[in-house]
Structure 1
């Protein structure tokens, strides 16, 4: 099922709807890491893209999950979890301008481990301004109050009684000169994001990040554009008494976007990334950075996606510096007979750690779901997920299997 807000996301490059910037993300989901390839995609939609439905939509998911390793540890503890995921969205058109707003929640109740019960909240808004035939602007806000999914960064809970909680606020402003279909287009973006960690001795990760990006697109073929991009990211730690992880990062990227056929489109960027830490005890990081995102539609109802990225991100372990992360994500969804459909995803992640830790991690995750579209407003599904991590340090290894069954409802006007 695709609602109004999802249609709005697909109609333009809505980076405010992504979790965080690639380099400093907390990896709340593995897939979010790889598909952050759209970072400052720069294709601000023209007013023609606003010819879509508007109004309010309401939806919710309810599901039961069996998880055999809820803390993602060597010796795992299992539990059954009841989850409810409400959502409300709004799309409004005001002349040539568009306002999009959305709230997503997740309430999780653990049968045997009530101490880890949690409620996630995520609210976002975006205002697209069609100023002239050449100038467009975008303002965005993202507010997060969530827990980190364990095992997806380099922090190990190691007996903690609750998941790591954090708050984040992101404000962004973007302007472009030229349209997506123009011969050339300039896009400039500024974003400010703060992180505040509340437990599990993670306060050293509190920080404020300022990000400035300039991108130029040049159309070389009717369906292809060359990309030149410079990005500056400044991360200032709020708690520097114990171990200052503040850094400045510069990225220089070039690449290509293409729509080869009606079935295939994609984007590729490659370049140099340099990260310099204020703390002299942390080695600076520099080297190759790249992003690839390719969609293939064998038919109108099916979609395959390949996303590959290599970048640096900050550590979730005190006294450890940043790490270089390579992600490969392959996903596919297609209808089956009758009202059935299936979705599948495979992710591989390689984390190489800087400094004296002498550690690298390999993470693999396989997900599959079988969906049944009972009505236009009701969908049922069953799924399975398998997640495993191997590491040079045995304490960080784990295996995890999850089985889930649920329903999703969606109403709009």
Structure 2
């Protein structure tokens, strides 16, 4: 919709899901099930000035649990983005966002007659790029600041008050072109975690090297491998130093078929029950266009989590996630979808071992 030089895109997505374990209840416990209706309207404003683009998006997500109305909630998401090109060698991306969300109940609060954890977060960030797209070398400098605060379940049994934190993230990436569509890269990431009430304050560094390429031998992707270290402000905590990697590759053997491979390994933030979580994941998915309007997808992800420090020391979770679906572009403005997902989490903590089945139907309409 043209509003005098500003474009407005309204979108409405409605989905109906049958979930046989909405709280991810432990194996052997009673598993509450429910039909869940999610209504997601969104509005996007967009404007363009030559090579510069600006966008503002607001999305509301209302979830109704028909057999557990205490879990009903409405999430809000607001985001602003801009892309500015000052010259062929200088460009800047800026973004800012705010969200207010509620999680469904989990092992920390499903037995305490409490609703899911509520939190709000604000972030502002940017990425500056120097060097022409076709040049031999390019440099990118990025920064992001996030503030996250939990709004409920703040007693000592639910652990949310220990999760309030401010996070500063910085990244520097240098690229060196070795072929028209292939670049080598070296990257340094820095994260500063400042908690309000916990002793998990830390600084983290990741040093990565790798390559990124586009449409080379039917593949597109980025591979980064390296080393990470974490330095806790509390001297009594062990400071980890591990290998780390990020892999994302898309292989298109045919114009209408895409296989995506993803893998990552890094130390994720913990809570009052552990210092950090050493997380490794591997994923594969296949998208196939049966016709111009019908697309199928199937995927599998394996995630391994080792909990380090605190009362969770020695805990290990292994999560297998399967999904499949079909999307039908019924009209230019209307997509219909049907799908199924299954999760099986094995854990050395009996309260965290679960399985979960979800079947969904969706419709997305936009102008």
Partner of 1:233: 191
Greater fraction strand: 2
After TM superposition, give the deviation of residue 339 of structure 1 in Å: 3.6
Does residue 280 of the first structure (1) align with residue 238 of the second (2)? no
Of 324-333 and 156-165, the range deviating more from structure 2: 156-165
Query: What's the C-alpha RMSD, in Å, of the aligned pairs?
Result: 2.0
After TM superposition, give the deviation of residue 260 of structure 1 in Å: 5.3
After TM superposition, give the deviation of residue 390 of structure 1 in Å: 0.3
Partner of 2:73: 118
Report if the CA contact (8 A) 1:71-1:157 is conserved: no
After TM superposition, give the deviation of residue 101 of structure 1 in Å: 2.1
Distance 1:262-1:77 versus aligned 2 partners, 3 A rule? same
After TM superposition, give the deviation of residue 200 of structure 1 in Å: 2.7
Q: Secondary structure of 1:179's match?
A: coil
CA distance in 2, matches of 1:362, 1:175: 38
CA distance in 2, matches of 1:372, 1:135: 41
Q: Which one of 117, 131, 137 corresponds to residue 164 of structure 1?
A: 117
1:199-214 map, 5 Å: 199-201=152-154, 202-214=160-172
1:55-70 map, 5 Å: 55-70=7-22
Q: How many residues align?
A: 353
Q: Secondary structure of 1:315's match?
A: strand
Partner of 1:399: 355
Q: Deviations over 1:159-182 (max 9, x none)?
A: 143221111111002211113321
Q: Which one of 284, 296, 312 corresponds to residue 267 of structure 2?
A: 312
CA distance in 2, matches of 1:403, 1:143: 30
Q: Which 5+ residue runs of structure 2 have no aligned equivalent? A: 155-159
Partner of 2:300: 346
Report if the CA contact (8 A) 2:203-2:231 is conserved: yes
Q: Which one of 186, 194, 202 corresponds to residue 247 of structure 1?
A: 202
After TM superposition, give the deviation of residue 249 of structure 1 in Å: 0.5
Does residue 361 of the first structure (1) align with residue 361 of the second (2)? no
Distance 1:196-1:252 versus aligned 2 partners, 3 A rule? same
CA distance in 2, matches of 1:230, 1:287: 15
Report if the CA contact (8 A) 1:208-1:236 is conserved: yes
Distance 1:301-1:147 versus aligned 2 partners, 3 A rule? farther
CA distance in 2, matches of 1:404, 1:221: 44
Does residue 195 of the first structure (1) align with residue 148 of the second (2)? yes
Task: Give the TM-score, by structure 2 length.
Answer: 0.91
Does residue 380 of the first structure (1) align with residue 309 of the second (2)? no
Does residue 332 of the first structure (1) align with residue 286 of the second (2)? yes
Partner of 2:57: 102
Q: Deviations over 1:271-329 (max 9, x none)?
A: 1100111123432111101011001223334322111000111114x231101100112
Q: Which 5+ residue runs of structure 1 have no aligned equivalent? A: 1-52
Q: Secondary structure of 2:88's match?
A: coil
CA distance in 2, matches of 1:300, 1:258: 18
Of 253-262 and 64-73, the range deviating more from structure 2: 253-262
Q: Secondary structure of 1:124's match?
A: strand
Distance 1:220-1:340 versus aligned 2 partners, 3 A rule? closer
CA distance in 2, matches of 1:167, 1:307: 29
After TM superposition, give the deviation of residue 72 of structure 1 in Å: 0.4
Instruction: Give the 4+ runs in structure 1 shifted more than 6 A.
Output: none
Report if the CA contact (8 A) 2:105-2:115 is conserved: no
Distance 1:320-1:118 versus aligned 2 partners, 3 A rule? same
Q: Secondary structure of 1:283's match?
A: coil
CA distance in 2, matches of 1:169, 1:140: 11
Greater fraction helix: 1
CA distance in 1, matches of 2:6, 2:220: 27
Higher RCO (C-alpha under 8 Å, 6+ residues apart): 1
Q: Secondary structure of 2:216's match?
A: coil
CA distance in 2, matches of 1:336, 1:192: 43
Report if the CA contact (8 A) 1:128-1:138 is conserved: yes
Partner of 2:128: 175
